[in-house]
Amino acid sequence: MKLENEIVLAIQEAIEKLYGTKLEPNKIPIQQTRKDQNGDYTLVVFGFSGLSKKKPEETAQELGVFLKENVDFIADFEVIKGFLNLIVEDKIYINVLKENQNRKNFGFLEVNPHDKVVVEYSSPNTNKPLHLGHIRNNLLGFSLAEILKANGKNVTKVNLVNDRGIHICKSMLAWQKWGNQITPESAQLKGDKLVGDFYVLFDKKYKEQIAALVADGLEKEQAEKEAPLIQEAQEMLRKWEENDVEIKTLWQRMNTWVYKGFDITYQNMGVDFDKIYYESETYLLGKELVVEGLKNGILFQKENGSIWCDLTDEGLDEKLLLRADGTSVYMTQDLGTAQLRHEEFDAQKMIYVVGNEQNYHFDVLKLVLKKLGKPWFNSIEHLSYGMVELPQGKMKSREGTVVDADELMEEMYITAKTTTQELGKAEDFAQEDLEKLYQTISLGALKYFILKVDPKKQMMFNPAESIDFNGNTGPFIQYTYARIKSILRKAGEVEQMNFWPESLNEKEKNVLKQIQNFPSILKQAGELYSPALISNYVFELVKLYNKFYQEIPILKETDQVKRQFRILLSSFVAENIKNSMSLLGIHVPERM
């Protein structure tokens, strides 16, 4: 970014001197030169013909000559039609290494304690275990938090557990009716999986009741409302909100089972949180905000007692905030949670990592807060991501057709183990080290495969494709890092350089050019909330380094300055790979 800015300022001065006009920097379109052309940065000249009164090629030639003669870091240039390709002096790229050789976190900014950001991710329901969709959510949220930290933000990672509501009551009711006092211990099953099984069982029994009522002549919609099971679940929710002792005791017991299961999954996944909120503790504050809004005439109440917000003047519809029976909806607790977080952190941004099926929900949340007179409503931002699908289609929790997160991670581990053994990558490892390596490779494969896709895009997950030691995969990047560490072990201690080469070959320059881009890529990833930019960056860096490694001697180089430079360059690349992958929540092994 610094070099780009200097080039823009140099072009600005050239245009002023040659054509008597001073342009704003944003009117000077430069970009990195295409890989199939000679050059480092390209200026698009077509828009300057009006200033020069000459053809684009002639204008480009004049600008190129001026820059080469007057700017010490412009070595040469080429004109291709209306494009001016500028070739930067090698010393500029050598200085990237020279000035940063002692930095462990090149491109990272110091955290500003006053620049506060809250990132919410995970947000599971306590009626089922985490699944593949949750994996994308958790990995995106954790990675975004790390990227924002590296951009100098004071980040707090939070999780809102949806531990109340009709869906929770469905699992509880099914356990009451058909559980026979089973526990995770007696079933030898993780608590979240046991509770999830009862959620699936409820749906099965509920559908049987609906089918029976329809067979007796009821319309399906009416049958769905009058089925005894759903009415019992609704009654259980009412009792819960009335603090019925028996219902609350069962609720606490089953949720405790689920939390223990979640903790194991989070630990295996390598994600964590600074604070966990529970919907059961925030929905009451939301109800208070709704009641206050009604008193102030901001909200309105229908004849049945339900409370609504009219958003028709905002181009939306009327939004239910409290049901007629006084029970709350998702929006109620989100209002309360947002208010609580604002009071706790007074953050500049509160980012919610939630799937794109909730776009409308977050539009409404901001508008309701605005209606309620909360000036901080605009601090809420929604990282809306696409759904994860499998080759066989969508997943449905109620029907039990989800890809369980624990089972997927176990499958990835087995695949990583099999692939590594087949390739003979770790034949001299101790058993304990091997297990750690398989875990590192499997999680790296899973995380990279998911995070390399733009968050906004829907994605298809294929476990077999993710574990490949070639191509755009986590293991390929991990293997390159391990290869570099092997080179460095053979080289011995990486020494500080006192003498530097005067020029670079093309492969060295390409690697340094990519590293020089890292600060601007990191900044962009933080602005766009896109870990995919980091993934694409580090993959490109690894490709360029491998070309350098295959074609340029390192340890066998006889020129000591060049040899030492290439060892230092390799060390710097390894550190950059490690830092980039850490932003994705991925560890890199020292040996493979």
pLDDT in tens, 368-382: 999 999 999 999 999
Amino acid at 168: I
Output the CA–CA distances (angstroms, integers) from residue 552 to 468, 539, 570, 577, in the order listed. 26, 20, 12, 20
- Residues 320, 378 within the same domain: yes
Give me 422's structure tokens: 């087949």
- Which of 247-251, 293-297, 324-328 is predicted with the least confidence, judged by mean pLDDT? 324-328
> What DSSP state is assigned to residue 131?
B
pLDDT at 3: 87
- The domain spanning residue 526 has which CATH number? 1.10.730.10
- More confident: 499 or 232: 232
Q: What is the pLDDT of residues 501-552, one digit of tens each?
A: 999 999 999 999 999 999 999 999 999 999 999 999 999 999 999 999 999 9
- Domain membership of residue 115 (yes or no) is no
Instruction: Specify whether 76 is located in the same domain as 146.
Output: no
Which residues, 6+ apart, have CB-to-CB distance to 248 below 8 Å? Answer: 240
Query: Which of 365, 389, 413 is the C-terminal boundary of a domain?
Result: 389
pTM of the model: 0.91
Sheet holding 318-322, edge to edge: 300-301, 307-310, 318-322
Question: Which tokens sit at 340?
Answer: 């609580």
Does residue 230 sit in the same domain as residue 371?
yes
| Residue 592 covered by a domain | no
65 and 126 within one domain:
no
Residue 377 shares a structural domain with residue 497: no
What integer pLDDT is reported at residue 377 of this predicted model? 96
Q: What is the CATH number of the domain that holds 261?
A: 3.40.50.620
Q: Using one digit for the tens of pLDDT, what is the confidence trace for 16-52?
A: 999 999 999 989 999 999 988 999 999 999 999 999 9
Range with the poorest average pLDDT among 92-106, 233-247, 464-478: 464-478
C-alpha distances in angstroms, 344 versus 258, 275, 303, 592?
Answer: 27, 11, 37, 45
Please identify, among 364, 389, 414, the residue that sits at the C-terminal boundary of a domain.
389
Q: Range of 561's domain? A: 405-583
Please indicate, yes or no, if residue 427 is contained in any of the structural domains. yes
Is 80 exceeded by the pLDDT of residue 426? no
67-80 tens-digit pLDDT: 999 999 999 999 99
Say what the pLDDT of residue 399 is: 47
Average pLDDT (199-222) is: 95
Reply yes or no on whether the pLDDT at 278 is more than 60. yes
| Token output for 365 | 């949340």
220 and 330 co-located in one domain: yes
Has residue 106 been placed in a domain? no
Are 567 and 518 in contact, with CB atoms under 8 Å apart? no
CA 351 to chain centre: 12
Judge if 485 and 530 occupy the same domain. yes
Q: How far is CA 406 from CA 135, 160, 266, 375, 456, in A?
A: 10, 20, 10, 42, 25
473 with 346, same domain? Answer: no
For residue 415, what pLDDT is reported? 86
Backbone conformation region of residue 37, classed left if phi is above 0, alpha if psi is from -120 to 50, else beta: beta
Asked if 322 and 249 sit in the same domain, the reply is yes
Q: Is residue 362 part of a domain?
A: yes
Mean pLDDT score, 91-99: 93
**Residue 86, pLDDT above cutoff 80:** yes
Provide the token pair at 515: 């590293």
**Would you say residue 192 has pLDDT above 90?**
yes
CA gyration radius for the chain?
29
Do the domain assignments include residue 358? yes
- Would you say residue 421 has pLDDT above 90? no
Clarify whether residues 224 and 333 are in a common domain. yes
Compute the mean pLDDT over every residue in the chain, rounded to the nearest whole number.
92
For tokens 């495969």, name the residue.
449
Percent of the chain with pLDDT over 90: 81
433 and 354 co-located in one domain: no
pLDDT per position as a tens digit, 240-252 = 989 999 999 999 9
**Looking at the 3D structure of the chain, how many domains does it have?**
3
Element (H, E) at 116: strand 116-120
Q: Report the C-alpha gap between 421 and 247 in whole angstroms.
A: 52
- Among 88, 109, 138, the domain-final residue is 88
Q: Residue 41's domain is classified under what CATH number? A: 3.30.1360.70
User: How many Å separate Cα 499 from the centre of its chain?
Assistant: 41
Indicate whether 482 pLDDT > 70: yes
- Judged against a pLDDT cut of 90, whether residue 383 lies above it is answered with yes
Coil vs helix vs strand at 78: strand
Whether 589 maps to a domain, the answer reads no
Give yes or no: residues 212 and 147 share one domain. Answer: yes
Confirm whether 395 is domain-assigned.
no
With CA atoms as reference, report the closest residue to 418 among 378, 445, 458: 445
CA distance 100 to 2: 14
